[in-house]
Chain A
Amino acid sequence: MRPVAIIGIGKTAFGAFPDRDLRSLAVEAGEKCLKDAHVSPSQVEAYYLGNFAGPSFVGQNHLAPYIAGAMGITGVPCTRFEAACASSGSAFYHAVSSVAAGLNDVVLVAGVEKMTSQTTPKVTEILAGAGDTCGEVRAGATFPALFAMIARRHMYQYGTTREQMAAVAVKNHENGAKNPLAHMRKVITMEQALKGKPISEPLTVFDCSLISDGAAAVLIAPLERAAEFTSQPVKILGVAQTSDYVALDQKDDITTFGAVVAAAQKAYKMAGVTAQDIQFAEVHDCFTIAEIIATEDLGFVKKGEGGPYALAGCTRLTGPLPINASGGLKSKGHPVGATGVGQICDLVYQLRGQAGERQLARHSLGLAQNLGGSGATAVVTILGVA
């Protein structure tokens, strides 16, 4: 297997863009990425696209060649990957596999979602399609409801509190306010977070990530060729994708995501590092409880200690282990298909020292964790300066 590097990145702002269509967002991210790496469309050997529900949100299928063609990329494999909110994490995993195996050299990986043209109840219904539609969804489960049930159980088993979850939201908004590409650049107080409108108890609107439009892209190549394209290559040290049951009621313990634990173990082994070596992370905070569980599943803290760790401020920009310096899905926004590759871009900004006001002091080894559904797909990626 060949070592693989990231040689370019490109992101759109995340937000609600009524005048933008899905294709124009994906094209903007892709073209920014190619420009960043000084690569022309004719040099791209494959296009891997993560998208959860373009056909449902905007009525467009056959998305990968549709977008690639608009960038002048033709005559190469163009494929869409769907794994709920881990769609572009999955596209990234498979793209890295193809370059590592020697099938391709220069591969463009992207993610896109256009969600805000639908009403919130309709978006809720489309997102619920990532659950078990013959069971939990038929009974009336939404994604906030599934994570609310996870939160209730975590509170019951470990004493996790509403304040600890609210601390995640307050911290992520504080970080997102410093990110020019974030959807909601607004600081919130603990009191606001605790008194938000109930969505699915115990979760309020401030525990939930945003419904957003947006796209992100990264360009990868063999590490040995990286210097042809960039003076700041980023090395992909470890990457793993794993799975679990789709339905929450099929899992023995819903306070942990088995797929995340397994993907993390594989990625750490591949990278030759441990959880304690990681200096910063972008984790999948689709809901505040998901960030708390991620810090446990990734091995940063012991099981049940994620809540107190967040409330103590350990995951803030100035803490020992900054989590979601970008603002996370909570403040940066969550255009679901774009989230996985977006997290990779956010790691790269930090590794290159290009994160502006949110630049971290220690920034040579970072981890991204992307979650699909209520944990049926997980992708964990570890990146370092090459």
Chain B
Amino acid sequence: MRSGVVYTETMVHAAPEQFVADAPYQLAIISLEEGGRLTARVDGERVAIGDPVEFVGDRNGIPFFRKA
């Protein structure tokens, strides 16, 4: 579906109350191929700035991407 490139990222260790069970998790801002940027979670392998990523799907309204 959608693909893009990692604009920036972080690994979140101190999570907000509703995501404590998920921590640590990687969060990234993705520059989308179609234009614009999106804040999303990263699935699987850890990514770095400049890495190409592809859209995996939405889970509980959260967009997930993984390394392409």
* Per-position 1/0 for B24-36, Cβ under 8 A of A: 0101110000000
Question: Residue of B at shortest CB range from A148?
Answer: B10
Contact B39 A136 (CB under 8 A): yes
Contact A152 B39 (CB under 8 A): no
Give the interface segment out of A36-44, A138-146, A261-269: A138-146
| Max count, chain B CB within 10 A of own CB: residue among A121, A139, A149, A152 | A139
Q: How far is the CB of B32 from chain A (nearest CB, A)?
A: 10
Which chain A residues lie closer than 8 Å to B27 at the CB level?
139-141, 145, 149
Which chain B residues lie closer than 8 Å to A124 at the CB level?
14-17
Judge if A198 is at the interface, Cβ distance under 8 Å. yes
Contact A149 B10 (CB under 8 A): yes
Contact size range, B? 20 to 34
Contact A249 B39 (CB under 8 A): yes
Which chain B residues lie closer than 8 Å to A142 at the CB level?
12, 14-16
| Max count, chain A CB within 10 A of own CB: residue among B19, B20, B40, B63 | B19
Contact B8 A200 (CB under 8 A): no
Contact A201 B8 (CB under 8 A): no
Contact B18 A141 (CB under 8 A): no
Contact of B17 among A125, A137, A153, A201 (CB under 8 A): A125
Contact A200 B13 (CB under 8 A): yes
Secondary structure class of chain B's binding surface, majority of residues:
strand
Judge if A247 is at the interface, Cβ distance under 8 Å. yes
Which chain B residues lie closer than 8 Å to A152 at the CB level?
8-10, 49
Contact B16 A121 (CB under 8 A): yes
Q: How far is the CB of B23 from chain A (nearest CB, A)?
A: 9
Judge if A248 is at the interface, Cβ distance under 8 Å. yes
Cα distance A95–B14 in the bound complex, in angstroms: 37
Which chain B residues lie closer than 8 Å to A156 at the CB level?
8, 49
Q: A125-B18, A145-B10, A152-B8 are in contact. Are A250 and B25 (CB under 8 A)?
A: no
Q: A120-B14, A122-B17, A198-B11 are in contact. Are A140 and B29 (CB under 8 A)?
A: no
Which chain B residues lie closer than 8 Å to A139 at the CB level?
27, 39-41, 62-63
List A residues 269-300 near B (Cβ within 8 Å): none
Cα distance A316–B29 in the bound complex, in angstroms: 34
Q: List 8 A-B contacts (CB under 8 A).
A: A138-B61, A140-B15, A142-B14, A145-B12, A149-B10, A198-B11, A198-B13, A203-B10
Query: Which are the 3 A-B pairs with shortest beta-carbon distances?
Result: A148-B10, A125-B16, A136-B39
